[in-house]
A and B are shown apart, each in its own frame.
Chain A
């Protein structure tokens, strides 16, 4: 069974600080996604990571993938209040069917 674990599950941080969210998965991945979800809203795709060593950046968020360690990270630089949301990683592995398997999510609260 493909399992995806995120930590921390809850993160409270001050504006201007840096932090990292971790996503571990149990088998090889064909694709790894990071999503953002605001309360009561749908999921917004942030990054798609395909290969070992892939790094993508958008604004204050940077995602990386280490397929050997089965680990992806989402790094937040100089957090601002607008980044407050829930962040999910999700993995697709074709051996386990054509579906996304999600982590439990990380609730991020950025305090002014």
Chain B
């Protein structure tokens, strides 16, 4: 049973380009969470999704950021018109149930660098 898979592991984008980050949850997990980690800081919650639904997006910037978790395929975190401040590690976690009822497992992260 593979763990949470994120790709790409490293992504370099020029300012103004779009970044797409992918997350395939563990088998049997239908809850996905995205977190952002700035250098030397803790993880900040961005968005929580369940298949085809956004449950909580209270941590998402209002502009340029969007997330989806379609019925088929991975969850996608999309950042449009990237700026240097978007450079960070983005981690995805998945769980079998929501609400912290079951443990969330983290992927390896995507390290986004905006040049």
A31 close to B (CB within 8 Å): yes
Instruction: Please classify how large the interface on chain A is, using the bins under 10, 10 to 19, 20 to 34, 35 or more.
Output: 20 to 34
Interface string of B43-74 (1 = CB under 8 A from A): 11100100000011011000000000000000
CA distance A48 to B59 in the complex (A): 24
Specify which chain B residues have a CB less than 8 angstroms from the CB of A90 in the assembled complex: 43
B42–A94 touching, CB < 8 Å = no
- A42-B109, A103-B42, A104-B42 in contact; A98/B48 too (CB < 8 A)? yes
Specify which chain A residues have a CB less than 8 angstroms from the CB of B33 in the assembled complex: 99-100
B79 close to A (CB within 8 Å): no
A45 close to B (CB within 8 Å): yes
A42–B100 touching, CB < 8 Å = no
B48–A97 touching, CB < 8 Å = yes
A43–B106 touching, CB < 8 Å = yes
A94–B43 touching, CB < 8 Å = no
Specify which chain A residues have a CB less than 8 angstroms from the CB of B105 in the assembled complex: 45
Specify which chain A residues have a CB less than 8 angstroms from the CB of B48 in the assembled complex: 97-99
CA distance A93 to B25 in the complex (A): 22
Specify which chain B residues have a CB less than 8 angstroms from the CB of A43 in the assembled complex: 43, 91, 106
A41–B56 touching, CB < 8 Å = no
B41–A99 touching, CB < 8 Å = no
B99–A94 touching, CB < 8 Å = yes
B99–A41 touching, CB < 8 Å = no
| A88-B42, A98-B98 given; 15 more Cβ-contact pairs under 8 Å | A40-B111, A42-B91, A42-B109, A43-B43, A45-B103, A88-B43, A94-B99, A94-B100, A97-B48, A98-B56, A99-B56, A99-B59, A102-B43, A104-B41, A105-B42
- List 16 A-B pairs, Cβ < 8 Å: A30-B100, A31-B100, A33-B103, A41-B108, A42-B108, A42-B109, A45-B103, A90-B43, A98-B31, A98-B56, A98-B99, A99-B59, A100-B35, A100-B93, A102-B43, A104-B41
